[in-house]
Chains A and B, each alone.
Chain A
Amino acid sequence: MPLKPDFEPVLFKNRRGDRPATFDEYRQGGGYEALLATVGKKSPEEVVRMVTAAGLTGRGGAGFPTGRKWAGVPASAPYPRYVQPNTDEMEPGTFKDRILVNADPHLVIEGIILCAYAVKAQRGIFFIRPSYESDAQLIERELAVARAAGFLGSGILGSDFSFELSVHRSAGRYICGEATAQVNAIQGLRPNPVKAPGAHLTEAGLWGRPTVVNNVETLASVPHILTRGPEWYKSLAATPTGDGTKLYCVSGKVARPGCYELPMGTRLSDIIYEHAGGMLPGGTFKACLPGGASTAFMPETLFDIPMDFPSLKAVGHHLGTASMIVFDKNTCLLAATINIIRFFVRESCGWCTPCREGLPVILDILERIEAGEAGEADVAWLETMTRQLHHAYCAFAPGAAAPIEGLLRHFRDEVMDHLDGRGCPFGAPELADKPGAWHLPKGGRP
């Protein structure tokens, strides 16, 4: 299904490919108009209402309605309040935030300011991963420009709304992407997720004050919603269940991997064949991870599914960050799963037992299956353990469970082909390295 003829990119409006859009370019394209039209003119409650009406869902992976999150800051909550734009983006296969920030930094900045206005925040902390050092510098540079233009600082646009935005560089751990862990990280504590019964970050986050944590892609949509209205934004989607546009990252065995802004709900087949140039020569589509490493493998049978949160949920999958990692028929999905679980083993924060102790045990079993050292009882045990991962402390371990579940649900035969001394049918039947030592995945490569 081709794009609607009148579709034009929203978030990537100013994308140039070779360099970021400058402040002036952004202004020329109607940038900061939303801010000008909002600060002092619309009430914060109205902004929240519009965002709610637009049905904007969080783009960080969970798909939580942004309007509801903002409304979660109690009117009586103490000050200062914080906005925490999340650019930690360490989900394997995901790079949309980097592309977005690199394409149009001011769009992101404007979105953050509008969010701060809506929740009456005084300070924003732009949390960014260490690999994106250049983007951190870019943001810092553009922040100075925005500040000079009076869009940041005290008394923005002559109103009594003051907002400071600064960059917080992380030192790199996947778990820092989790909102509560990120709050800890910014405070200079160990970035463990925190789950106190009944407590929300919007009530008590950074230093016990209300804090709104949003993905930058989510925030970047806000200026557009405010300028062109919620209805327009909602109509951008390709499906009635979607909202606006989405940055889809496509990587893996496709001809043109990259980040594409498409209407929310574009079909998977369209994304791969229309936009990402189809499979690499010689490869046939086998499966894809629809939203980064912490989602389940989607088999060929779901090739035509509209890619939005509710549609995927309906078939037991998860859109996540909408970062499609595409595998072809020459790849051993078990070996791929081992790679993914190795990532999760390494990045676990070490807080709860299923994640810290369970994942290495699961990895050990997977490696033994890959090496042909396992039997059916091990697969059964693996299945049990994977199910138990859902009772872990935060969403990290369930995320790790997803690819294994997808593997066992859709590619069970492939797993069974490894058992009882047979080893990997795709690659070298070498013995998998023992866990614990540093090792590289072997076998199963295309």
Chain B
Amino acid sequence: MSRKPEEASCRLTIDGREIVVAADTPVIDAAERLGIMIPRFCYHPALGAVGACRMCAVKFLDGPVKGLQMSCMVGARDGMVVSTTNPEAVDFRRQVVEWLMANHPHDCPVCDEGGHCLLQDETISGGHALRRYRGPKRTYRDQDLGPFVAHEMNRCIHCYRCARFYQEVAGGRDYGVLSIARRTYFGRYEGGRLESPFAGNIIDLCPTGTLTDKPSRYRARRWDLERGPSVCLHCSLGCGLTVGARYREVMKLEARLNPEVNGHFICDRGRYGFGYESRPDRPRQPRVDGRETIAGAALAALAEGLKPFEAGKVAMVGGTRSNLETLAALLGLCRDQGWRPPVFFRDARLAGAAESAAAALSGDLVASLADVGRADVILVVCADPLAEAPMLALSLRRAARRGAAVLVLDHRPCDLPCEAERLTFAPQELAGCLSRLAHAALRGRKEAAAYLSSLPLPPDLLPETALALDTWGKRLAEARFPLVVCGTDQAEPTLPALAGGLARLLAGSHDQDRRAGFLPLLPGPNGLAAALAGGGDLEALLADIEDGRATALLVVESDLLSRTPEPERWLAALRKLKLLAVCDHLPSPLLEAAHVVLPSRTVFEAGGHFVNQEGRLQRAMPVFSPGLPMGRTLREGHPPRLFMSCAPGSEPRPAADWLKDLAGLLGAGGRAGDWADLAAAFPGLPGLAAGPAPENGRRCLPETAPGADAPSVAKTGSPDVPPDHLQVLLVERTFGTEELSCRAPLLAASAPEPWVDLAAADAGKAGLAHGAWLLVPLPGGPLRARLRVHQDMAPGLLLLPRDPRLLWQRLAGTGVLVELLRLHAITAEEEPAGEDTTLEAEP
């Protein structure tokens, strides 16, 4: 049967109003565009139509389709006349609600969905108030789905949204549909934590209270929440969030639709990475020399304290989790006072990689997360998407489901929720491998000559790996929309530039409508801005402090001591400082050492702007005013009976405000308006000058990157790894390692136990088995952790997560090697007990 050639767009009439949409747009979407919300349960734009709930029935009065049809299942065609208010359709929808309500329990008062429940809305708006079904109600036993998702199966209306998301969109394989007919059950094989790191989305998707948010269970109604749009800070992707807070405490985060970034979904790290804002140990009071004081006094003391120092001896350390305003204020302060350039990244390699990635980005090349879903061949270099930016993994799966090839070139055992082809190399070999691949991809391209000649020499490769790399190269060259993803967390400084260069040249091949994309992963939510701002080197700063060349240090929203592998050295160095001021909202040992502590606000209280890895400027709104959570102010079981104009614990101020006021006290010149400020601070983001971003953000990158065609690549020599030695690498994990979310009580309590990774070959040599407890002799002392052995991992490496529960700081520096044979398993009796256990007592 041949189908009619489809028109690009068609005109149809819905409830007497005409609309032009692309042909085959579901009628339900076309109606929504007119502002007509056709009731639905199973339909969801991100999941597509399956016609299971039969709730979106409308009457087709004229055109190619006639009669009562489901508006989600019918694609728009020219000449359709649709009535959503036709009595037949309304009666049917009313009947559907009655059927669904026949077994729905009478528990709205104790249901967390009450108040934003789709079923409640449709039941009430449809006028179903009297129960005609006299039979008994069906019940189900619930399952424990882990710490995040509460299951109350009685309320299920079998829309299949959860299972469709979980299995099809997220690639999860441990939650699905059981049984048949009216006994159909949504759950797991047996109770237990949902394995997918995207499981939280089924809470947003569930149209009733079957799947609800467990952490906020029974705590607030939607109408009582202070809600506002925000941005996720747990990686560089900048996914949209909606924050819901009550009684000065974040209750829950939900995904906020941002079609070009995260779409409808977010990962669980983003969803449950809150709670650091209401930790009991959060600094809330300004302190000078350990004594609590008021804001003005602390600032004055800091300004006074800074005056004696000559400008060159004052240093600032910033963080990539700060908002753009803070970074701009920090940069402005350094510039105006003539202080040393601020330091943003934890080491020189990361700074180099981030800066080279930022330099390779431009508006015509950068790819958004949505672009990942559109690409047909995706090369992932030196990135572990699930660990570093989980939503990227979801986008890769979306691409793979549409038939895209995902090619992963990395040294880690990257676990992806989709089919992917993998090649593993040691990190220092990746540039060489990329070079081989690029040669295959760009063979015979004259304009690529400069680029190709700048590439490092490929390492010695096995014939089959070389062949695979060549094939990959060819596939990239032939692809309609090739896309290169490159991580920075583990990459050599030149690698992102090489990857970006490859993407740029792929874009410039044969025909016009071909495009290519480059998507780097950057450290932190404002990593791009920090990388563009440049800045100093943290190791050099440490040396200068030790040598007395820097005597005053201001640390703004950066946790030096728990992010560095050399905390002892840092602590010693900090003691030499004449002045240490810390402005942060996270508790850290740094605060104890500080002379001046300025408590800052979290993103939930301060809001601010963030620029994600594609240069998209997005705004987080302040959602609630700071203060001790109501629950912590209770007296005799109830809130105190006080009338006060401000809440207790409301002293924290936005870091940018602290810095601006400090600048004022230090006699800085007049300040321009905020946007001019920001634009001036980040010349690499020209789009900032255009002012506030719209709801879904706006790209601020320059359209073309000058000189990005031929990246200047400094050849890096691979470190000498003696035989039978393992290079210790610090890696990210999906849960428990990222700076902010590892302090989120929910994730800290439920993150899987930290493990170390070893390639199967190495494990075999050392005689170590999967799951064994391992004693790793680190320079700073032994470290104990459970071992995982991987087949698909580059040999010669020992991967150690940056998990605060693991005392990885005993590493004492980067580039550490351990002797393979000195690793040994420890017996069961030695296991978790003993003073040297790995697990730190972190709440």
Interface residues of A (CB under 8 A from B): 72, 74, 173, 190, 195, 197-198, 200, 202-203, 345-354, 356-358, 360-361, 364, 368, 381, 384-385, 388, 391-393, 434-436
Contact = CB atoms under 8 A, between A and B. Distances in A.
Contacts of B3: 198
Q: How large is the interface on B (under 10, 10 to 19, 20 to 34, 35 or more residues)?
A: 35 or more
Given A200-B1, A349-B180, A357-B100, A392 B54 contact: yes
A361 B182 contact: no
Contact of A195 (B51, B54, B55): B51
B103 A357 contact: yes
B184 interface: yes
Contacts of B158: 350, 353, 356-357
Interface string B150-181: 00000001101000000000000000010111
Given A346-B181, A356-B182, 19 more contacts: A197-B73, A347-B180, A349-B180, A351-B52, A352-B53, A353-B52, A353-B54, A353-B100, A353-B157, A354-B96, A354-B99, A356-B181, A357-B102, A357-B182, A361-B98, A361-B135, A391-B57, A393-B52, A436-B135
A364 B133 contact: yes
A353 B53 contact: yes
Contacts, number: 101
Given A197-B74, A203-B1, A364-B133, A350 B183 contact: yes
Interface in B297-348: none
A347 B102 CA distance: 19
Given A364-B135, A393-B52, A173 B180 contact: yes
Interface in B11-52: 24, 49, 51-52
B136 A434 contact: yes
B85 interface: no
A436 B183 CA distance: 10
A353 B96 contact: yes
B465 interface: no
B52 A384 contact: no
A208 to B, nearest CB: 11
Nearest to A389: B95
B135 A350 contact: no
Given A349-B180, A350-B184, A354-B96, A361 B53 contact: no
B54 A393 contact: yes
Contacts of A393: 51-52, 54
8 contacts: A200-B1, A353-B52, A356-B158, A357-B182, A358-B95, A364-B135, A368-B134, A391-B92
B181 A384 contact: no
Nearest to A349: B180
B458 interface: no
Contact of B95 (A356, A368, A384, A436): A384
B683 interface: no
Interface of B: 1-3, 24, 49, 51-55, 57, 68, 70, 73-75, 91-92, 95-96, 98-100, 102-103, 132-136, 138, 157-158, 160, 177, 179-184
Contacts of A384: 91, 95
A384 B90 CA distance: 13
A106 to B, nearest CB: 32
A207 to B, nearest CB: 14
A203 B158 CA distance: 30
A72 B1 contact: yes
Contact of A381 (B132, B181, B183): B132
Contacts of B51: 195, 352, 393
Q: Which 8 A/B pairs are nearest by Cβ-Cβ distance?
A: A350-B184, A357-B99, A364-B135, A348-B181, A358-B99, A353-B54, A388-B95, A350-B181
Nearest to A374: B134
Nearest to A355: B181
A348 B182 contact: yes
A347 B49 CA distance: 24
B83 to A, nearest CB: 15
Contact of B182 (A202, A354, A360): A360
Contacts of A436: 135-136, 138
A346 B157 CA distance: 18
Contact of B180 (A74, A350, A361): A350
Given A354-B96, A388-B92, A391-B68, A434 B135 contact: yes
